[in-house]
Amino acid sequence: MVRRVHEKNGHKFVATVLRQPTFCSHCKGFIWGIGKQGYQCQDCTCVVHKRCHESVITNCRSSTDATTNEAPDVGSSPHQLSVHTYMKPTFCNHCGTLLYGLIKQGMHCGGCNMNVHKRCQKNVANNCGVNPAVSNAN
């Protein structure tokens, strides 16, 4: 079975079935539908709507680590991530899925209030303080 790959800024997006409630890492909207609802990057696991994959402005962290000649990420300001305990259900801003557990469920950025899984922190782009919706409008 051949899967079509949609490349954008080093991301290799493929259509995927999302088995749990998931939010788009670009527009922050809920991803609805039956079947293959969204696109997920094969390298960094970033999940976006099918309509949002062309609008992604950040470079894929997995591809830029391998090649140092590429331009830096938009904003190129690293996140100040620290372990955080959430008092209500919270979703990862990178992969869009729920942060599980009772304490220390994930990482929180003090600069832009981004929330991510511990496993996702290495894949998050250096775009602290950059609003993708505003940057995309230019």
| pLDDT, position 72 | 46
Q: What is the mean pLDDT of the chain?
A: 81
Q: What is the DSSP letter of 77?
A: B
- Whether the per-residue pLDDT at 138 is higher than 50: the answer is no
Looking at residue 80, its pLDDT comes to 87
Mean pLDDT along residues 112-120 = 90
3-state SS, one letter per residue, for 16-60: EECCCCCECCCCCCECCCCCEEEEEECCCCCEEEHHHHHHCCCCC
Amino acid residing at 98: L
**Cα–Cα distance list, 30 to 4, 26, 37, 53, 63 (Å):** 23, 11, 10, 14, 27
pLDDT at 136: 46
For 5, 85, 86, 91, 134, the CA distances from 131, given in Å and listed in that order, are 26, 24, 23, 18, 5
Helix (DSSP H) and strand (DSSP E) numbers for the chain: 2, 7
Neighbours of 104 (CB within 10 A): 12
Distance CA 89, CA 81 (A): 19
Q: Given this model, what pLDDT does residue 1 score?
A: 61
pLDDT tens digits, one per residue of 118-127: 998 888 888 7
> What count of other Cβ atoms lies within 10 Å of the Cβ of residue 35?
8
Q: What is the mean pLDDT of residues 5-32?
A: 87
pLDDT given at position 70: 45
pLDDT in tens, 40-89: 988 888 899 988 888 888 888 766 554 444 444 455 688 889 999 999 99
